[in-house]
Chains A and B, each alone.
Chain A
Amino acid sequence: MMLELDRINAGYGQAQVLRDFSLNVSPGEILCLLGRNGAGKTTTMQAIMGLVPLMSGAVRLEGQDISRLPPHKIPQAGVAYIPQGRRLFTGLTVAQNLEVGLRTRGHGKDTLEEVLELFPRLRERMDQRAETLSGGEQQMLATARALCLKPKALLLDEPTEGLQPSMIEAIRRVIVKMRNAGVAILLVEQRVDAVLEVADRVAFIENGRNGATMGAEALRADHTIVDRYIGV
Chain B
Amino acid sequence: MELGPYILLASLEGAVSAAVLALTAVGLSLVFGVMRVVNIAHGEFFMLGAVIAWFVAQSLGGHPAIGFTAALIVAPLLVGAIAVVADLAILKRIAYDPERTIVATIGLLYIIQQVTLMTYGPEARPVEAPFNQRIALPWFEFGDNGLEFYYPWGLSTTSYKLAVIAAAATVLAGVWLLMTRSRAGLLMRATQADRDMALAFGIPVERVYALVFGFGAALAALGAVLVVPIQQAHYLMGADPLLLSFIVVIIGGLGSLPGTLVAAILIGLSDGIISVFFSPTLAKILATLLVGLVLVFRPQGLFGTRAA
Contacts and interface: CB of A to CB of B under 8 A. Distances in A.
Task: Give the interface SS of chain B, mostly helix, strand, loop or mixed.
Answer: helix
B192 A91 contact: yes
B203 A72 contact: yes
B197 A87 contact: yes
A99 B182 CA distance: 12
Interface string A86-103: 011111100010011101
Contact of A91 (B193, B199, B200, B205): B193
A91 B197 contact: no
B186 interface: yes
A75 B197 contact: no
B199 A72 contact: yes
Contact of A89 (B183, B189, B199, B202): B189
Most central of B190, B196, B200, B205 by chain A CB within 10 Å = B200
B13 to A, nearest CB: 36
Contact of B199 (A49, A96, A103, A149): A49
Interface residues of A, number: 28
Interface in B203-218: 203-205
A41 to B, nearest CB: 16
Interface residues of B, number: 19
B75 to A, nearest CB: 32
Contacts of B194: 87-90
Contact of B193 (A72, A89, A99, A149): A89
A71 B200 CA distance: 7
B202 A72 contact: yes
Interface string B174-193: 00000000010011011011
A50 interface: yes
A51 interface: yes
Nearest to A96: B186
Contacts of A87: 194, 196-197
A90 B193 contact: yes
Interface of A: 46, 49-51, 70-76, 81, 83, 87-92, 96, 99-101, 103-105, 145, 149
